Amino acid sequence: MAPLRFSANVSWLFPEFPGLPARLRAAGSSGFEAAEVAWPYAEQPEALARAAREAGLRLVLINTPPGDREKGEMGLGAVPGRQAAFREGLEQAVLYAKALGCPRVHLMAGRVPQGADRAAVRSEMETVFLENLRHAAGVLAQESLVGLLEPINTRITDPRYFLDTPQQAAAILQKVGRPNLQLQMDLFHWQIMDGNLTGNIREFLPLVGHVQVAQVPGRGEPDSPGELNFPYLFQLLEDEGYRGFVGCEYRPQGDTVEGLNWLRSYWDRQGRPQAGQ
């Protein structure tokens, strides 16, 4: 069984360093071979690509732009009336993905509009999302890119987020029916919404193009105190034959590098993936 491949989410890790290029360097020095970044758009794509190259990292995931964060937007994929802005954001994401050699783009669904009732707008939002996803799948396929759907928990993190369970995301993927759209499984969100991780990992892993991890409920390192038994979950992902990346999207409880003991001990135990795997 191949060991898991881990990716440093530099939007979360290495907050000790200002700016993404410095964080990428820190990730490379810590032994990572891959990195992901939520929103790279404040940096020039060429500068970011150079920083990743110099750090010996490949970029494996970026998100579509959030929209107008001042107005409380967090993605636009399912937001009625924002279709044009979603498509513009998608073009920007594709531009960055190409410049960065990044194969995956998380297509953010966005939030139920302020003041609207979730149940009342659910079907309209799903219709908008399906249209946008069909469009996105075509645009991404032209560049051999994969689009990802990530359910985000609505109990703690984002009460108004539209896409919040693996079941909802899988049903939408089935309706769109495009092979280059896949599921992004953040075990932090999945545990909070549904638990039943062993069953859900086994059921949904065939649809999964990317995994992310953090402890529950504090969202710290996998070995920080909390509900999740990561040695078991990592073993389960290996046993089920997962070959994608596992993104470290957590909030370091102290110094990022000191907090990577869990990863160093995983590498000591399981070895590291061979380059190119």
SS (H, E, C) the chain: CCCCEEEEECCCCCCCCCCHHHHHHHHHHCCCCEEEECCCCCCCHHHHHHHHHHCCCEEEEEECCCCCHHHCCCECCCCCCCHHHHHHHHHHHHHHHHHHCCCEEECCECECCCCCCHHHHHHHHHHHHHHHHHHHHHHHHHCCCEEEECCCCCCCCCCCECCCCHHHHHHHHHHHCCCCEEEEEEHHHHHHHCCCHHHHHHHHHHHEEEEEECCCCCCCCCCCCCCCCHHHHHHHHHHCCCCCEEEECCCCCCCCCHHHHHHHHHHHHHCCCCCCC
Among 33, 36, 126, 249, the one annotated catalytic: 249
Is position 275 within any domain?
A: no
Write out the residue range of the structural domain in which residue 85 sits. Answer: 5-270
CATH number at residue 225: 3.20.20.150
Is position 99 within any domain?
A: yes
Burial class (CB in 10 A: 0-12, 13-18, 19+), 148: buried
Q: Give pTM, 2 decimals.
A: 0.97
Q: Is 150 a catalytic residue?
A: yes
**Whether 164 contacts 151, CB under 8 Å:** yes
The reported pLDDT for the residue numbered 273 is 78
Q: What does the pLDDT profile of the chain (277 residues) look like in tens digits?
A: 789 999 999 999 999 999 999 999 999 999 999 999 999 999 999 999 999 999 999 999 999 999 999 999 999 999 999 999 999 999 999 999 999 999 999 999 999 999 999 999 999 999 999 999 999 999 999 999 999 999 999 999 999 999 999 999 999 999 999 999 999 999 999 999 999 999 999 999 999 999 999 999 999 999 999 999 999 999 999 999 999 999 999 999 999 999 999 999 999 999 887 654 4
| Residues 6+ positions from 266 with CB-CB distance below 8 Å | 3, 4, 6, 234
Q: Is 46 a catalytic residue?
A: no
The reported pLDDT for the residue numbered 117 is 96
Burial class (CB in 10 A: 0-12, 13-18, 19+), 88: middle
Among 33, 36, 150, 221, the one annotated catalytic: 150
Location of structure tokens 């919404």: 193
Is position 276 within any domain?
A: no
Is position 263 within any domain?
A: yes
The reported pLDDT for the residue numbered 148 is 99
How many domains does the chain fold into?
A: 1
The reported pLDDT for the residue numbered 275 is 55
Is position 277 within any domain?
A: no
The reported pLDDT for the residue numbered 277 is 42
Is position 25 within any domain?
A: yes
Is position 44 within any domain?
A: yes
Angle at 3 between CA 226 and CA 228, to 5 degrees: 10
Identify the bridge partners of residue 81 per DSSP, sorted by sequence position.
none
**How far is the C-alpha of 118 from the C-alpha of 126, rounded, in Å?**
11
The reported pLDDT for the residue numbered 17 is 97
* Of 190, 188, 210, residue with least CA distance to 5: 210
Is position 64 within any domain?
A: yes
